[in-house]
A and B are shown apart, each in its own frame.
Chain A
């Protein structure tokens, strides 16, 4: 039997998401006091799989895994940094975006997950700018096209070299017959507030916009001639960074290496198992135990601190589920531990929320939970004996599409202050707020319930979907799982994405919503991927042929 990591579909080689600067091949990470630089230097022949070359700083997952790692490490290991410059180590080229030949040779599921992951990385940069005091600016020392412009769009400021050649461009429509897949359209009009008519011209202009016009249209914040480019961008970075966060002491993120066997992927606090029903996996989280008090310098706790470690493991497990187990449709969420310990952990987090490290860990928790919200699999939370769905961990149950609670005196759930603010969803609301969208007062009242709740109370407060009697538990859970796993995976993906994100639209929900709806639809259409589709024929000798009928 194949190991739990050998997926039956998708990539023949399981993907891994752990890396570190000593293993980077495609990016150079330089930390220089309060300023850091991420320089793209993509190695053409070191992509994830053979069959394409990563020319002109184009990227595939192997590049983005490094980028995500660098962004994360800057926050934890180099918290003194206050400004990050994203630039390129190549002459005349910043980046030409996601590699088209890689996309052309990938399965649909992989493309979707690739885009989702790259979006999450871009959002983590924006999160760092907004919440970690690490502000990202882009120094485009050459052409930035497609995903190569979407990456700078995730920075707070964009500077473009003015050499009468280098342009920013989103040429997906004219070249490929698809859409920019990393939030480009949304950020152009929603974040940078480029006028919609100019955006219309920009996104159909394959060669892009350069120089003064790029500034006038709001596509970049400034231009500098080549001879002054580096010093000008550096000067701006130094101005933003000041002396940096000199009071912060970083934490080295060690490598997370789960033990992988035929049945399970086992981490220290997280365990992912498969079966016995087909297409069903179980994600079990062990709660905290005997946590140390938070010292004056919270970062002395290190990367082993349960809260950071567990959520890093959960993040890794979610990514493996997405990329390496496309056939899994339903994930059972369960927890093991003691509710008082979880509540104690949450009190610590609340008490020390002004410490940079505690705040950083909390933002990390927030991002991992968002990753769960955005995973295209069904999640059922099983709240049974020995579980510890309380506070931060109760967010897992709130994130699930449904929850089943065993009707027993020994089974409880609990709310903590972590449920009412620090861990918002992409829509900007708490999960409780989204759950009780029509009744904000109820959301407030429930958030104030500090005592652990019995199944009856939980049911009355609307915090669980079903309370199930002991005698029915096994059958009911089995039937629910089998039934769910029998439904069309595509319709479930759409259904869940519709239901999970009630409430207001934000930049994030728009990006992911439009990625799922429009981009993925266009990615499937014959005009893009048919035999004569534009994406299929890109770089090939033949010209595309379109079905001209609009829907």
Chain B
């Protein structure tokens, strides 16, 4: 009998699942399908192994980071919202100063559904994109981190599905079902956003994804954490605590590749690291070019009426919107965002976008600053090693598929090239087939505790205070 299920044990939560018949019923149908999806599309070949994972079992200090060995299909995906503040007021947009909503206002149903479905769809998508990476992990430490990211993306899906089940009725249940039916890269049923349909086939791409694409996620979540729809705000606030680890994996991952490349550049004859099994710094730069720009696309168009609507309706704010020092004006009705827009004939002209319509751009700027800080740290690693090379983020005009610069031949410095010139230089801007094949050739599986692949430096410290040679994954093979 389903009524006898111990919900708190099986599905850790702070939303009173045990006492919520409606939510139980929705999840009873959805949960088996989720598990089936996890078996079909989750990390391939590791479902029976014991992984040293962090599980959120509560939102208090000790609760959100509970470490233990667990088989991934037995992971306790839970539903957590940051605790409710009494008398919370809306902090921006046309509804500023009113009480935050604990139900969906009918007039914003479609916008909120779209926001939640779009966000939710990215979570299982990234698990699908990364499902083959376990087979060539550079260490048990990295393998464990991959799986931690994967199970938490799964939990983030749960968080969005909770909102759909709880607040959107039948329509929400159908959307939740669809999240398990769409598949990354599937021609017939692709994931909603383009960046989530490209496969991630090597670990440098994985680190770039967690560095750049998950960082888009951080800023989207942060913008939604300001939402007037309080359950969404509280869900995304809690997701941000987990997302921080994913960004750590990405930033330190790329950083460790940079560190190892710097060492190998000094060891190798002529500094050519391909002779000693390293990733050339130029290829790292090309990966940065590709993943940074693909992630910029996720912010949407520079001039966006949807963005204006979301801000006006107090559904989606800016990064740290509630901080009055950062944003003294929470209405943003005044002012414009000035941008260089292409006007044809290879010329650019200053255009003014009303501030609310430029909200995607405002959020993207906060993101770009955050990325810059990481690149600075990588460059410090290079200069500390005495390497005279600086990694750089490409111009936001380069390699774009969305927005006013879409499909135009800008170079990474932001200059508009002749299309033929762009084609000639393309291979020096973005990874070539040969680059990808080379990086893939370096991917060998290191499954001995404490062992690291040659192309990457070990991290400074282990997970949860454990040593580097800790057995982060215990293989349970026959």
Contact = CB atoms under 8 A, between A and B. Distances in A.
Contacts of B311: 541
Contacts of A541: 308, 311-312, 332-333, 354-357
A290 interface: no
A541 B352 CA distance: 14
Contacts of B94: 542-543
B139 to A, nearest CB: 38
A542 to B, nearest CB: 6
B312 A225 contact: no
B344 A163 contact: no
B188 A163 contact: yes
Contacts of B329: none
B55 to A, nearest CB: 31
A549 interface: no
Contacts of A174: 110
B178 A164 contact: yes
A227 B313 contact: no
A91 to B, nearest CB: 10
Given A207-B110, A225-B189, A538-B305, A543 B178 contact: no
B198 interface: no
Nearest to B183: A164
Nearest to A538: B305
Interface in A219-249: 225-227
B197 to A, nearest CB: 12
B187 interface: yes
Contact of B188 (A206, A227, A538): A227
Interface in A261-289: none
A226 B305 CA distance: 29
Interface in A504-551: 538-543
Interface residues of B, number: 25
A538 B305 CA distance: 8
B305 A539 contact: yes
B114 interface: yes
Given A45-B344, A543-B312, A226 B187 contact: yes
Interface string B176-208: 001001100001111010000000000000000
Interface in B331-370: 332-333, 344, 354-357
Contacts of B308: 539-541
A49 interface: no
Most chain B CB within 10 A, of A164, A205, A538, is at A164
A163 B190 contact: yes
Nearest to B308: A541
B188 A540 contact: no
Given A227-B188, A538-B305, A541-B357, A207 B178 contact: no
Given A165-B192, A541-B332, A227 B182 contact: no
Interface in A437-486: none
A538 B181 CA distance: 34
Contacts of A164: 178, 181-182, 189
A140 to B, nearest CB: 16
Nearest to A100: B305
A43 to B, nearest CB: 11
A96 to B, nearest CB: 12
A123 to B, nearest CB: 32
Contacts of B182: 164
Contacts of B71: none
A385 B333 CA distance: 68
B337 to A, nearest CB: 12
Most chain B CB within 10 A, of A164, A226, A541, is at A541
Nearest to B313: A543
A225 B354 contact: no
A537 to B, nearest CB: 9
Contacts of A543: 94, 309, 312-313
B189 A542 contact: no
B245 interface: no
A83 to B, nearest CB: 25
Contact of A206 (B110, B312, B333): B110
Interface in A182-207: 205-207
A205 B171 CA distance: 12
A21 B192 CA distance: 35
A538 B311 CA distance: 14
Contacts of B178: 164
Interface string B421-435: 000000000000000
B333 A542 contact: yes
Contacts of A205: 110
A538 B355 CA distance: 15
A201 to B, nearest CB: 11
A205 to B, nearest CB: 8
Contacts of A225: 188-189
Contacts of B380: none
Interface string B302-318: 00010011011100000
B113 interface: yes
A543 B305 CA distance: 11
A225 B333 CA distance: 43
B153 to A, nearest CB: 20
A482 B476 CA distance: 98
Contacts of A162: 188
A207 B192 contact: no
Nearest to A205: B110
Contact of B113 (A163, A207, A539): A207
Contacts of B110: 174, 205-207
Contacts of A539: 305, 308, 357
A45 B113 CA distance: 32
Nearest to A537: B312
A41 to B, nearest CB: 14
Contacts of B332: 541
Contacts of A542: 94, 312, 333
Contact of A207 (B114, B190, B313, B344): B114
Contacts of B189: 163-164, 225
A207 to B, nearest CB: 5
B114 A227 contact: no
Most chain B CB within 10 A, of A174, A207, A225, is at A207
A45 B404 CA distance: 12
Contacts of B333: 541-542
A174 B109 CA distance: 11
A15 to B, nearest CB: 23
Contacts of A538: 305
B162 to A, nearest CB: 21
A44 to B, nearest CB: 10
A45 B357 CA distance: 20
Contacts of A206: 110
Nearest to B192: A165
A268 to B, nearest CB: 39
Nearest to A540: B308
A539 B309 CA distance: 7
Contacts of A207: 110, 113-114
Most chain A CB within 10 A, of B94, B113, B188, B355, is at B188
Contacts of A227: 187-188
Given A205-B110, A542-B312, 6 more contacts: A164-B178, A164-B189, A174-B110, A226-B187, A226-B188, A539-B357
Kindly list the 7 A-B residue pairs having the minimum CB-CB distance in the complex, ordered from nearest: A541-B356, A539-B305, A225-B188, A541-B308, A206-B110, A227-B187, A226-B188
26 contacts: A45-B344, A162-B188, A164-B182, A165-B190, A165-B192, A174-B110, A205-B110, A207-B110, A207-B113, A207-B114, A225-B189, A226-B188, A227-B187, A538-B305, A539-B305, A540-B305, A540-B357, A541-B308, A541-B311, A541-B332, A541-B333, A541-B355, A542-B312, A543-B309, A543-B312, A543-B313
Interface of A: 45, 162-165, 174, 205-207, 225-227, 538-543
